[in-house]
């Protein structure tokens, strides 16, 4: 059955696939036990939410702590501005996600499953609750839906747990991680919806689907979600997205917590979490942003740094003040032209802020900026005054 | 197995009072906004008393000494 | 960078010594203070030198706890030196 | 040593305790703020605050012992522990006992701070703003039968210093520069049903 893609089956434009069609195509929910956890470890599947944590390890750590009290959080917050993959999956293949969630609930002996979906993603919430209604009474009893605030850090696993526990979506200090003490203090698995869909397929076909969902954004003719084989190169993905209307100068691989790669180098990069990690990169949430040659790189980077600074939950000084100072320095360079002191400050602050936050928000933002400073070194060092143009 | 400790800070609790850098400048300095930058690695033995004092004197108890197991002499 | 840390280490050590010095200083001052203020209160309280206080104040030293709060300031203690005042009423 | 000396010693020790307590309160307020003078590290303020707090307890103990041991006033140890249990100036002296016990709670929780955690410690520490005023009123009330200008002046100075520190604290902006942005962000991601 070569149709082992997540988005296989009828045309996506026809909306959510019902339970009958889902079972006809993929069969009933397979059994789940310790063997599934070992299978996941062997498959090498890593999380698709952004942190790319090996799924086998994560399940083992929750299983070790859970004695029938675990909680499964299905993370569909998708706070990354350009990412659309989770929403597409929730609105077209909801049962694949629910299968993954109930497999996790069985394998980890969970007593509760929480669908954590972006509060502004109405279609996704509606599709998931409709699909839930089609499940068995026993499955439905386990599940409740919680709305995730539409902020960048709301998708962070400790923020999700904090919102579910205390109604505030701000990250909390780890340790303890949510694996040890999460929802209601119970061991909690926070897993991205795409990861759970992959798990539902792996439980059926015994191996990874070999595909990933990516969101093509920026200078491509047909931006949007693609499901590609993990060997596909960025250039091929751009072609699948209708090609680039004008030559590109660089590609942002991995979204706002990803890294900038000069276009020609990026074109040959494989869209594959493991392969990218070998290059010191990350596929992150799967956003591939193409920056056209006509756009000013410094102004683009400045806009994103300002966004990331504003998305700091202001709980930690180095992150809140550090990212704001970095964004201010970028803004000065963008609007008034390069001042060598600002370049020095950017380098120093970036290295000082990294690793000094309560969560990984500052780390992601700094990696993004440092890759920009490297890839656009020329632009940053000789940038003229640009009055702030469109976002 | 030598018992070594390293200073850890709870970034969310820390509100940049700066006492730690004043008491233990050998291991802690402040960034431009007054928040501690802690040197990596285990605390040298002769600084452990001061490190203990820093942990106790932190106005918001954001600092802690965490044991670092270093089995072999050439620990990391 | 090294000199900055050195300077801050010296400042720390100096401040530690300063803390001890100030604390000891305050301790001595406090002890002296008790002595001085004991003497001052001995001489400044009218009853100390003359027995006029005894004449003007009633000897009532006991009253139910509820009302004593509002007693005017003249109610007080007879300060006859040395002799214990016979207390009426015993324990309440 | 005639009884009267003990009686005056109680007043002397009490006055010194008041001065010490007031300075501890002022130092506490200053250490909460980010007042940073050159050559005066912040841990000096907090260190003094702690040392003088313990010193206050010592002189307070002296104050209590001299009062209780003084045969003239027949107070008995109970009055130091159970408020309003003395027959001599019951109300005013009772305040002293309350202030003393509040102070004990504050100091004990401060010594046990690493085990209690910051939140609990901070909650109990707010009792300072009850203990100190009650101590001042105790001083004035118990001492009024033998009115003396020096005690009044001394008390006025202490009250003035503490009120100035409190006023400074209220005017100064929040000691935590993140307090405002943190509450703004929290409001944006708060999904609690309003209580």
Is the model's pLDDT at A264 over the cut of 70?
Answer: yes
Is the model's pLDDT at A387 over the cut of 80?
Answer: no
- Residue D71: the pLDDT is 78
Q: Identify the CATH class of B2-70.
A: alpha beta
> What is the rounded average pLDDT for all residues in chain A?
94
Q: Where are the domains of chain C?
A: 1-45
* Per-residue pLDDT tens digits for B5-63: 999 999 999 999 999 999 999 999 999 999 999 999 999 999 999 999 999 999 999 99
Does 3.10.20.600 match the CATH number of domain A211-292? Answer: yes
- Residue D191: the pLDDT is 92
Is D66 an 8 Å CB contact of chain B?
no
Identify the residue among B21, B31, B64 best suited for mutation to test binding to A, counting A beta carbons within 10 A and taking the highest: B31
- Cβ burial of D168 (10 Å; 0-12, 13-18, 19+) is middle
Q: Provide the shortest C-alpha distance from residue C84 to chain D (in Å).
A: 6
Residue C25: its H or E element: helix C2-44
Distance between CA atoms of A22 and A204, rounded to whole angstroms? 13
E strands of chain B, at which residues?
Answer: 2-9, 28-30, 36-38, 63-70
Buried b / exposed e across D158-167, counting CB within 10 Å, b at 16+? bbeebeebee
* Per-residue pLDDT tens digits for D55-98: 999 999 999 999 888 877 777 888 888 888 888 788 998 999 99
Is the model's pLDDT at D173 over the cut of 50?
Answer: yes
Say if C and B touch: at least 3 Cβ pairs within 8 Å.
yes
Report the percent of chain A where pLDDT is more than 70: 98
Is the model's pLDDT at C63 over the cut of 90?
Answer: no
* pLDDT (average), residues C68-85: 35
| Phi, psi of A296, rounded to the nearest 5 degrees | -85, 115
> What is the rounded average pLDDT for all residues in chain C?
63
* pLDDT bucket at D146, cuts 50 / 70 / 90: low
Say if D and A touch: at least 3 Cβ pairs within 8 Å.
yes
Is B18 an 8 Å CB contact of chain D?
yes
* pLDDT bucket at C2, cuts 50 / 70 / 90: low
Looking at the partner chain, which of A172, A173, A317 has a beta carbon nearest the beta carbon of B35?
Answer: A317
- Cβ burial of D169 (10 Å; 0-12, 13-18, 19+) is middle
Contact list, B63 vs chain A (CB under 8 Å): none
Q: Where are the alpha helices (DSSP H) in D33-127?
A: 42-69, 78-81, 90-111, 113-116, 118-125
* Per-residue pLDDT tens digits for A288-322: 999 999 999 999 999 999 999 999 999 999 999 99
CA-nearest residue to B14 within chain D is D176
Q: Which of A60-64, A303-307, D17-21, D79-83 has the lowest mean pLDDT?
A: D79-83
Is D42 an 8 Å CB contact of chain B?
yes
Please, what is the end-to-end C-alpha distance for chain D in angstroms? Answer: 64
Is the model's pLDDT at D34 over the cut of 80?
Answer: no
Is the model's pLDDT at A254 over the cut of 80?
Answer: yes
Distance between CA atoms of A319 and D16, rounded to whole angstroms? 47
Is the model's pLDDT at D35 over the cut of 80?
Answer: no
Please, what is the end-to-end C-alpha distance for chain B in angstroms? Answer: 13
| Whether the Cβ atoms of residue D20 and residue D56 lie closer than 8 Å to each other | yes
Is the model's pLDDT at C58 over the cut of 80?
Answer: no
Is A328 an 8 Å CB contact of chain B?
no
> ipTM of this model?
0.85
**Higher model confidence: residue D1 or residue B3?**
B3
Enter the pTM of the model.
Answer: 0.87
Contact list, B49 vs chain C (CB under 8 Å): none
Contact list, B60 vs chain D (CB under 8 Å): 118
Q: Provide the shortest C-alpha distance from residue B18 to chain D (in Å).
A: 8
| Whether the Cβ atoms of residue A327 and residue A350 lie closer than 8 Å to each other | no
- Residue A273: the pLDDT is 92
Looking at the partner chain, which of C5, C11, C15 has a beta carbon nearest the beta carbon of B26?
Answer: C5
* pLDDT bucket at D5, cuts 50 / 70 / 90: confident
Q: Which chains touch C (3 or more CB pairs under 8 A)?
A: B, D
Is the model's pLDDT at A38 over the cut of 70?
Answer: yes
Distance between CA atoms of A160 and A168, rounded to whole angstroms? 8
Contact list, D41 vs chain B (CB under 8 Å): 19, 22
* pLDDT bucket at D175, cuts 50 / 70 / 90: confident
- Which residues are within 8 A (CB) of A351 and not within 5 positions of it... i.e. 6 or more apart? A366
Is the model's pLDDT at C80 over the cut of 50?
Answer: no
Distance between CA atoms of A81 and A218, rounded to whole angstroms? 12
- Residue A343: the pLDDT is 96
Q: Provide the shortest C-alpha distance from residue B11 to chain C (in Å).
A: 23
* pLDDT bucket at C49, cuts 50 / 70 / 90: very low
Q: Provide the shortest C-alpha distance from residue C15 to chain D (in Å).
A: 7
Q: Where are the domains of chain A?
A: 12-205, 211-292, 297-381
* pLDDT (average), residues A172-181: 90
CATH label, A12-205, candidates 3.40.50.11540, 1.25.40.10, 2.40.30.270, 3.10.105.10: 3.40.50.11540
Number of B/C CB contacts below 8 angstroms equals 16
* pLDDT bucket at C56, cuts 50 / 70 / 90: very low
Q: Chain B, 18-47: which have a CB under 8 Å from a chain C CB?
A: 21-26, 29
Say yes or no for a CB contact (<8 Å) between A318 and B10. no
Is B39 an 8 Å CB contact of chain D?
no
- Residue C45: the pLDDT is 67
Is B56 an 8 Å CB contact of chain D?
yes
Is the model's pLDDT at C64 over the cut of 60?
Answer: no
Domain at A297-381: CATH architecture: Up-down Bundle (1.20)
Check the CA dihedral A76-A116-A364-A43 and report its sign: negative
Q: Which of A95-99, A194-198, C71-75, D190-194 has the lowest mean pLDDT?
A: C71-75
Q: Provide the shortest C-alpha distance from residue C24 to chain B (in Å).
A: 21
For B50, the token pair is 């001061």
Q: Chain D, 156-195: which have a CB under 8 Å from a chain A CB?
A: 177-178, 181-182, 184-186, 188-193
Q: Which chains touch D (3 or more CB pairs under 8 A)?
A: A, B, C
- Residue D123: the pLDDT is 95
Q: Which of A246-260, A360-374, D37-51 has the lowest mean pLDDT?
A: D37-51
* pLDDT (average), residues D29-56: 89
CA-nearest residue to B29 within chain C is C5
């Amino acid at each position: 059955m070569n149709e082992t893609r997540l988005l296989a089956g009828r045309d996506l434009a026809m909306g959510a696939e019902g339970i009958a069609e889902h079972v006809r195509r993929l069969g009933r929910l397979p059994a789940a036990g310790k063997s599934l956890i070992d299978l996941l470890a062997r498959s090498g599947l890593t999380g698709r939410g952004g942190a790319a944590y090996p799924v086998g390890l994560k399940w083992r750590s929750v299983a070790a702590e859970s004695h029938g009290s675990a909680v499964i959080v299905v993370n569909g917050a998708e706070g990354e501005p350009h990412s659309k993959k989770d929403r597409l999956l929730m609105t077209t293949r909801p049962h694949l996600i629910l299968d993954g969630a109930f497999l996790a609930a069985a394998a980890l002996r969970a007593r509760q499953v929480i669908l954590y979906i972006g509060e502004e993603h109405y279609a996704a919430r509606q599709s998931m609750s409709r699909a839930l209604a089609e499940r068995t009474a026993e499955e439905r009893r386990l599940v409740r839906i919680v709305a995730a605030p539409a902020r960048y850090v709301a998708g962070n696993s400790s923020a999700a747990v904090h919102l579910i526990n205390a109604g505030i979506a701000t990250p909390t200090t780890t340790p303890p991680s949510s694996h040890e003490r999460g929802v209601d203090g119970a061991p909690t698995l926070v897993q991205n919806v795409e990861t759970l869909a992959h798990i539902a397929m792996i439980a059926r076909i015994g191996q990874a689907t070999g595909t990933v969902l990516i969101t093509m954004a920026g200078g491509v003719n047909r931006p949007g979600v693609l499901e590609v084989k993990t060997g596909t190169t960025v250039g091929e993905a751009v072609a699948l997205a209708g090609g680039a209307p004008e030559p590109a100068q660089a590609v942002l691989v991995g979204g706002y917590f990803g890294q900038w790669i000069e276009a020609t180098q990026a074109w040959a990069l494989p869209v594959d979490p493991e392969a990218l990690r070998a290059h010191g990169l990350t596929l992150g949430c799967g956003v591939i942003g193409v920056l056209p040659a006509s756009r000013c790189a410094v102004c683009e980077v400045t806009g994103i740094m300002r966004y990331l600074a504003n998305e700091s939950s202001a709980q930690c000084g180095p992150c809140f003040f550090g990212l704001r100072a970095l964004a201010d320095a970028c803004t000065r360079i963008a609007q008034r032209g390069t001042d060598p002191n600002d370049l020095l400050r950017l380098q120093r602050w970036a290295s000082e802020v990294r690793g000094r936050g309560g969560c990984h928000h500052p780390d992601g933002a700094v990696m993004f900026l440092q890759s920009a400073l490297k890839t656009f070194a020329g632009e940053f060092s000789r940038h003229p005054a640009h009055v702030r143009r469109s976002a | 197995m030598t018992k070594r400790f390293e200073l850890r800070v709870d970034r969310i609790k820390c509100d940049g009072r700066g006492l730690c850098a004043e008491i233990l400048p050998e291991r802690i300095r402040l960034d431009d906004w007054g928040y501690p930058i802690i040197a990596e690695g285990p605390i040298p033995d002769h600084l452990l008393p001061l490190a203990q004092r820093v942990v106790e004197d932190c106005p918001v108890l954001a600092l802690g000494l965490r044991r670092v197991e270093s089995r072999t002499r050439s620990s990391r | 960078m090294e000199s900055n840390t050195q300077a801050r280490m010296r400042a720390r050590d100096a401040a530690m010594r300063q803390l001890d010095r100030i604390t000891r200083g305050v301790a001595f001052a406090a002890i002296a203070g008790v002595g001085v203020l004991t003497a001052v209160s001995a001489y400044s309280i009218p009853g100390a030198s003359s027995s006029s206080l005894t004449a003007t104040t009633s000897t009532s030293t006991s009253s139910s706890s509820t009302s004593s709060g509002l007693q005017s300031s003249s109610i007080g203690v007879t300060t006859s030196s040395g002799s214990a005042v016979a207390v009426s009423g015993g324990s309440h | 040593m005639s009884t009267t000396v003990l009686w005056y010693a109680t007043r002397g020790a009490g006055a010194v305790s008041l001065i010490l307590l007031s300075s501890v309160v002022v130092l506490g307020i200053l250490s909460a703020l980010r007042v940073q003078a050159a050559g005066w590290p912040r841990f000096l303020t907090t260190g003094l605050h702690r040392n003088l707090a313990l010193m206050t307890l010592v002189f307070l103990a002296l104050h209590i012992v001299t009062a209780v041991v003084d045969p003239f006033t027949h107070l008995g140890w109970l009055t130091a522990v159970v408020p309003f249990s003395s027959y001599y100036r019951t109300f005013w002296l009772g305040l002293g006992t309350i202030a003393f016990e509040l102070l004990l709670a504050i100091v004990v929780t401060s010594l046990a701070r690493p085990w209690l955690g910051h939140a609990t410690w901070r909650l109990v520490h707010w009792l300072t703003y009850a203990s100190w005023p009650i101590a001042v009123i105790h001083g004035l009330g118990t001492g009024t039968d033998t009115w003396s200008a020096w005690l009044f002046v001394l008390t006025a100075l202490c009250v003035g210093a503490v009120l100035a520190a409190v006023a400074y604290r209220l005017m100064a902006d929040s000691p935590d520069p993140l307090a405002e942005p943190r509450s703004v962000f929290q409001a944006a991601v708060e999904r609690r049903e309003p209580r």
